[in-house]
A and B are shown apart, each in its own frame.
Chain A
Amino acid sequence: MPQERFDAIVVGAGPAGNAAALTMAQGGLNVLQIERGEYSGSKNVQGAILYADALEKLIPDFSEDAPLERHVIEQRIWVMDDTSHTGMHYRSDDFNEQRPNRYTILRAQFDRWFSSKVREAGATLLCETTVTELVRDPKGRVIGVRTDREGEAILADVVVLAEGVNGLVGTRAGLRKELKPRTVALAVKEMHFLPQDALEARFNLSGDSGVVIEAMGTITKGMTGTGFLYTNRESISVGIGCIVADFARTGITPYALLDAFKRDPSIAPLLVGSQVKEYAAHLIPEGGYNAMPKIFGEGWVVAGDAAHLVNAVHREGSNLAMTSGRIAAETIIWLKRRGEECTARNLAKYRRRLKQSFVLKDMKKYRKIPDTLHNNPALLGLYPRLLSKAAQTWLRVDGKDKRAKESEIL
C-alpha cells in the first residue's frame, strides 16, 4: 500500500473523537479515525444523560434518527442516610418541548449511531485497532501514529487525541502527567431491564418522558462520590462512583458498594423485579480545572476526558467532550484554509477558543470543588444524617411541643 498522508488522525471514537472527526470531514479534510473497540461505543460507559445543545451544534436534526431513550422531565436530587432520603424534585411540563433539553441514552448504541454520521461525512474509520504510540519528526513534532496492526506508521499533519480518561498514548508520549488516584473517580453501573409499562407506572411517566435521580450521602460510606438512577425506555441505569483514592483508603469493594446502594430502602423498590443485563466500570476525570493537562502542542491537540474536561458537580462530560472536539476541529480547519501549519503556536488558538466557550468557563468556575469535597467529608456523611434527623423531629407527631422540637433541631 502506498503511504497515504492524512490531514488529521483522530485517536478514539467517543463523543470527543466523533465530534472532531465529523467536523473535520464536513470541512473537507481527509480524516482517519482509529478506535480500539469492535465498534464506536463498545468500550464506552456513561450514566447516561445526553445534553442536546452540544450535539445540535454538530447534527442539528439528530433527534430524527439518534437512538434516544427518554427526554428528561424530572430531576430528583436525594440526600440519603441509611434509612431515608431528603429530596429536591423538579418536574415540569415545560420539558415536554419540541426540542427537549436532555435525554437518557445508552452509550454503546448512541456512539455507534454517531459514528455512522462521521463515516457518512467522509471520514475513514479503522476499528479494532489500538494506537500504541505517537510518531515524531527529528524536531519532536508529532507527525503520525503507530498501531498494533502490522505495517508502517500512519502519518498526518495533526493528531487529535480523543482517547478518553485512560489516555495511554498521550501520557506515555509525555504530553501529560499520569492520573492521580485523587483526581479520578471509579464508577460502577448496572443495566436493569423492566417491562416498559411497569417502569412508566413506577416513575409516573408516559410517552418518552423520563426521570433522573442523583443521590449523595451515606451511600458512599464516607468516600467522596455520588450515586445515580436514570430511566431509559425499558431499563434503568443504576450506578455509583467514588474517588479512586477513597476506594484505596477504605478497601471498600466497588460492586459491594453498588449492591448496598441497590438494597437501600429508597432505591430497592424502584428496581424490584428487574433483570440485570450488564455490569460496567469506568473512570471519570474529576480533578477539575487544576488537574487539566496542556491541551495542544507541536502537531497535536487533546479533547474530552483525555483533557480532563468534566464538570463533576453538574455531571457533565460528554457535552464538554463534544464541544472540545468540535472546537479543536474548527481550529484545524481554520489553519488549513489559511495554509498555516499545525504548530503549537498556531494550535494555541484551540485553547483560546475553548476559553471563550462554556467549557473552560465552567471548568474554572468549579476549580475549588475537588479540594472542598476532599477537605469536608462531613458533607456526605454527617450532614445527611443531621438533615434526616431534623426532618424526622419536625414531622413526627409525638406529644412534644413544636418549640421544643425547634430547639432540638437548631
Chain B
Amino acid sequence: MSAKKANGEAVPQKIEEKLYQNRYLVDAGRPHVRIREYAEPSAELRRLVNVCPAGCYAINEQGKVEVMPDGCMECGTCRVLTAESGDIEWNYPRGGYGVSFKFG
C-alpha cells in the first residue's frame, strides 16, 4: 500500500496499525456494507476512499471501488454520503457482531 492518498497527502500512520488496536467480531461471509453494481464509479463512491475513517474503500487495478468492511467502525459516514446516489447498501451488522469498543 502506498503512503499517499489520492489527493497526494502523506499518511503518517497506516490505518491498519490504528485498527489493529480495536476489537472486532467479524460476521464472516456476511458483509454489512456492500457496493451496488455499477459500470463507472460515481464521484460519491470515489470520495469514500478518502473519507472513510477506517479506510474500508479502495480502488482496485481495474479502477473499480471496492469495500472491505472488516475494520468498519459503523460510523455511517459512507451511508450518509451516498444516501442520494444510492451507491451502497448499508446495514448494521447482526446483533453482537462488528466493532466492540473497550473505551469508546
Binding site for B on A (CB under 8 A): 36-38, 41-46, 48, 106-109, 111, 127-130, 147-149, 165-166, 168, 178-181, 184, 186, 188, 190-191, 235, 237, 244, 247-248, 250-256, 259, 263, 276-283
Q: Evaluate contact between B76 and A165: CB separation under 8 angstroms.
A: yes
Tell me whether B68 is interfacial, beta carbon within 8 Å: no
Total interface residues on B, using CB and 8 Å?
43
Beyond A253-B50, A283-B76, 9 additional pairs, beta carbon < 8 A: A36-B92, A43-B101, A108-B104, A148-B95, A166-B75, A251-B6, A278-B103, A280-B103, A281-B75
User: Contacts A44-B101, A108-B101, A188-B53 known; A127 to B12 CB distance under 8 Å?
Assistant: no
Residues of A within 8 A of B6 (CB): 251
Interchain nearest-CB distance for B18 vs A (Å):
4
Chain B, residue nearest A254 (CB) = B53
Question: Are A279 and B83 touching (Cβ within 8 A)?
Answer: no
How far does the Cβ of A21 sit from chain B's closest Cβ, in whole Å? 17
Q: With A and B bound together, what is the CA distance between A109 and B94 in angstroms?
A: 22
- Min Cβ gap B55→A in Å is 8
Q: How far is the CB of B79 from chain A (nearest CB, A)?
A: 7
A193 to chain B: closest residue by CB: B103
Beyond A129-B95, A252-B50, A281-B54, whether A244 also contacts B104 by CB under 8 A is: no
B11 at the interface (CB under 8 A from A): yes
How many contacts between A and B, using CB within 8 angstroms?
A: 153
Cα distance A108–B101 in the bound complex, in angstroms: 6
Residue in contact with A280 in the complex, picked from B7, B11, B83, B104, CB distance below 8 Å = B104
Chain A CB within 8 A of B22 CB: yes
Evaluate contact between A279 and B47: CB separation under 8 angstroms. Answer: no
* Pairs A–B under 8 Å by Cβ, sample size 21: A37-B100, A43-B99, A44-B101, A45-B104, A107-B103, A108-B104, A111-B104, A147-B95, A148-B95, A166-B75, A181-B80, A244-B81, A251-B7, A252-B7, A253-B11, A253-B55, A255-B18, A256-B5, A256-B11, A263-B12, A280-B103
Contact B74 A277 (CB under 8 A): no
What string of 1s and 0s marks CB contacts (under 8 Å) between B48-85 and chain A? 00110111000000000000000001111101110100
